[in-house]
């Protein structure tokens, strides 16, 4: 349902508070800033007119989904369905102003901030820096015409949730369990243009202000700052190398084989911290540094840059943490001897630096007592997804293993990749001791199928 309301708005000196940046955990990735990339959601197709308000809605709702956090009404609803704890403050993305364009060609849209089932503030979603950066800002009450704008949002919210409130019998909540109201689409039309604004943080929140990667919504990086014209995906004149051919060549490399042999030892697998190497595009290997070992993390720090070709690292055997539970029994860490969500995230970050569409040289290799495996990215720019290097994804992976305790590590990884991470374009290969390379896929019954690469 669309509503068109009207208020005079002089927006020039509005004050706002910025949502702060997020942090990654577990398998850490530090990388130099990628070439600016525009957002897919803000790129018009043919004669299409871009709806920036809907674009901001898509980004924030998807961010909540992939990072398991709650900034939107949709995320709160999903948490309630899964009997999880919910936040009492979120953005109602279905109610918004029309889209604005500032004198510096920034785009922004206003949304109401809901707290305890009522409008408590105003959020400004901003697209800036040649449409390569997004930021969500909270307007301070000192902003000009703030009271008028807040009143307008409150009227729209109450009007479009009143029938649900009357039927709920839950002290004003939209339902007996506190589920956010379904407002339908409400557009508030306001004349005027935006200017400058300042601000701080929104309750110390963890929403990033920046580029497209955390939102999983990148076009192919433009490289060199891009051009002022329409967005195009660079193409590579030569055909990408087949993964089987790439792996056969890689396994014949004396330097690569030496690093594998250095890691593929029982003495290395019995350590309490992972070991590994980073390979540059010039073929130089450097030692990776382990992250601080904790009861939940024994991973590596992988400094990904535009010069990164791949990485090799170990996954450890079970080991005694040196700690004890309440019953006095030793606590044993049981690492999954297969790629983790964070490992996939590292490969995706590497893919984000590619500007010619050829991802065939990129790889991630895991060496363990279970076997040696390599993942490769065979998708397109639209398949690049990140945000899987968080503690929540680590916990979800471990829980998935517990729920499927009799599955092989191969089956565990491939099904988690498909069903939970919803990742396309990442392929798994096993490198056997005799040099045979096997591609691992799921058949129609979600069981692992092994196909040998041609000799």
Domain boundaries, the chain: 4-215, 243-452
Q: What is the mean pLDDT of residues 250-266?
A: 94
Give the pLDDT band (50/70/90) at residue 15. Answer: very low
Position 314 pLDDT exceeds 80: yes
51-55, 209-213, 242-246, 338-342: least confident range? 209-213
CA separation for the pair 218, 355 (Å, rounded):
12
Position 293 pLDDT exceeds 60: no
The closest of 51, 198, 197, 202 to 113, measured between CA atoms, is: 202
Q: Supply the pLDDT for residue 297.
A: 54
Contact predicate 392/68, CB 8 Å: yes
The three-class DSSP label of residue 311 is strand
Q: What is the mean pLDDT of residues 352-379?
A: 92
Q: Supply the pLDDT for residue 30.
A: 46
Mean pLDDT, the chain, rounded, equals 78
Question: How much of the chain is in helix, strand and coil states, percent to nearest 5?
Answer: 25, 25, 50
Contact predicate 390/338, CB 8 Å: no
Strand partners for 277? 287, 312
40-54, 167-181, 251-265: least confident range? 167-181
Position 200 pLDDT exceeds 50: no
CA separation for the pair 352, 70 (Å, rounded):
26
Between 309 and 156, name the one with better pLDDT.
Answer: 309
Q: Which residues contact 363 (CB under 8 A, 6 or more apart)?
A: 246, 247, 250, 309, 310, 311, 347, 374, 375, 376
Contact predicate 455/402, CB 8 Å: no
Give, for 82, the enclosing helix (H) or strand (E).
none
Position 183 pLDDT exceeds 50: yes
User: What is the share, in percent, of the chain residues with pLDDT greater than 90?
Assistant: 30
Q: What is the mean pLDDT of residues 289-306?
A: 68
Contact predicate 278/308, CB 8 Å: yes
Q: Supply the pLDDT for residue 25.
A: 37
Residue labelled with tokens 């293993």: 401
Q: What is the mean pLDDT of residues 209-228?
A: 57
Between 404 and 34, name the one with better pLDDT.
Answer: 404
Position 231 pLDDT exceeds 70: no
Burial class (CB in 10 A: 0-12, 13-18, 19+), 169: exposed
Q: Supply the pLDDT for residue 232.
A: 34
CA separation for the pair 103, 100 (Å, rounded):
10
User: What is the share, in percent, of the chain residues with pLDDT greater than 70?
Assistant: 75
Reading phi first (left if > 0) and then psi (alpha if -120 to 50, else beta), residue 223 is in left
pLDDT tens per residue across span 37-95: 788 888 876 667 888 998 999 899 888 887 788 888 888 888 887 778 888 889 999 89
Residue 370 DSSP code = T
**Token duo for residue 316:** 């450890």
Q: Supply the pLDDT for residue 338.
A: 94
Query: In degrees, to the nearest 5, what angle opens at C-alpha 357 toward C-alphas 356 and 363?
Result: 110
Give the pLDDT band (50/70/90) at residue 292. Answer: low
The three-class DSSP label of residue 250 is helix
Contact predicate 396/422, CB 8 Å: no
pTM equals 0.52
Give the pLDDT band (50/70/90) at residue 180. Answer: low
**Token duo for residue 65:** 């989904």
String of DSSP letters for 251-274: HH-HHHHHHHHHH-SHHHHTSSS-
Angle, helix 254-263 to helix 243-252, in steps of 10 degrees: 80
> 3-state secondary structure string, 408-446?
CHHHHHHHHHHHCCCCCCEEEEEECCCCCEEEEEECCCC
String of DSSP letters for 375-412: EEE-S-GGG------SHHHHHHHHHHHHHTTTS-HHHH
Contact predicate 409/336, CB 8 Å: yes
Q: How far is CA 94 from CA 40, 157, 328, in A?
A: 20, 10, 53
Give the pLDDT band (50/70/90) at residue 298. Answer: low
Give me Rg for the CA atoms of the chain: 25
Residue labelled with tokens 């697209």: 127
State the CB neighbour count (10 A cutoff) for residue 405. Answer: 7
- Output the furthest CA–CA distance in the chain (Å, rounded): 75
pLDDT tens per residue across span 401-447: 999 989 999 999 999 999 999 999 999 999 999 999 999 999 999 99
Q: Supply the pLDDT for residue 240.
A: 59
Position 315 pLDDT exceeds 50: yes
Position 255 pLDDT exceeds 90: yes
Residue 372 DSSP code = E
Q: Supply the pLDDT for residue 9.
A: 44
Between 225 and 64, name the one with better pLDDT.
Answer: 64
Q: Supply the pLDDT for residue 217.
A: 81
Contact predicate 260/312, CB 8 Å: yes
């Amino acid at each position: 349902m669309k509503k068109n309301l009207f208020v005079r708005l002089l927006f020039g000196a509005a004050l706002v508070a910025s949502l702060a940046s997020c942090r990654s955990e577990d398998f850490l990735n530090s990388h130099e800033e990628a070439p600016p990339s525009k957002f897919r959601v803000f790129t018009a197709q043919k004669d299409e007119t871009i709806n920036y308000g809907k674009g901001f809605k898509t980004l924030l709702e998807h961010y909540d989904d992939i990072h398991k956090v709650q900034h939107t009404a949709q995320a709160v609803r999903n948490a309630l369905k899964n009997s999880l704890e919910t936040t009492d403050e979120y953005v109602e993305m279905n109610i918004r102003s029309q889209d604005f364009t500032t004198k510096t060609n920034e785009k922004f849209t206003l949304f109401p901030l809901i707290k305890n089932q009522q409008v408590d503030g105003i959020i400004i979603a901003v697209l800036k820096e040649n449409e390569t950066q997004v930021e969500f800002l909270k307007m301070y009450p000192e902003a000009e015409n703030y009271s008028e704008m807040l009143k307008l949002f409150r009227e729209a919210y109450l009007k479009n949730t009143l029938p649900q409130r009357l039927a709920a019998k839950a002290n004003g909540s939209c339902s007996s369990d506190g589920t956010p109201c379904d407002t339908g689409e409400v557009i508030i039309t306001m004349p005027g243009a935006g200017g400058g604004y300042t601000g701080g943080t929104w309750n110390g929140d963890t929403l990033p202000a920046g580029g497209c990667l955390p939102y999983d919504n990148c076009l192919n990086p433009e490289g060199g700052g891009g051009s002022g014209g329409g967005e195009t995906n660079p193409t590579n004149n030569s055909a990408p190398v087949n993964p089987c051919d790439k792996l056969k060549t890689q396994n014949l490399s004396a330097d690569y084989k030496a690093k594998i042999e250095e890691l593929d030892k029982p003495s290395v697998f019995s350590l309490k911290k992972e070991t590994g190497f980073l390979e540059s595009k010039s073929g130089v290997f450097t030692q990776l540094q382990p992250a601080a070992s904790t009861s939940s993390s024994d991973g590596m720090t992988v400094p990904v840059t535009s010069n990164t070709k791949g990485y090799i690292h170990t996954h450890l055997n079970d080991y005694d943490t040196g700690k004890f539970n309440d019953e006095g029994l030793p606590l044993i860490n049981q690492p999954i001897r297969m790629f983790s969500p964070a490992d996939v995230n590292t490969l995706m970050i590497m893919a984000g630096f590619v500007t010619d569409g050829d991802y065939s040289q990129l790889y991630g290799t895991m060496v363990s007592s279970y076997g040696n495996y390599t993942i490769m990215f065979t998708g397109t720019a639209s398949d690049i997804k990140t945000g899987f290097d968080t503690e929540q994804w680590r916990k979800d992976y471990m829980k998935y293993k517990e729920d499927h305790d009799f599955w092989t590590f191969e089956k565990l990884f491939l099904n988690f990749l498909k069903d939970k991470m919803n990742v396309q374009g990442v392929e798994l290969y096993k490198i056997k001791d005799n040099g045979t390379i096997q591609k691992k896929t799921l058949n129609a019954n979600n069981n692992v199928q092994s196909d040998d690469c041609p000799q």
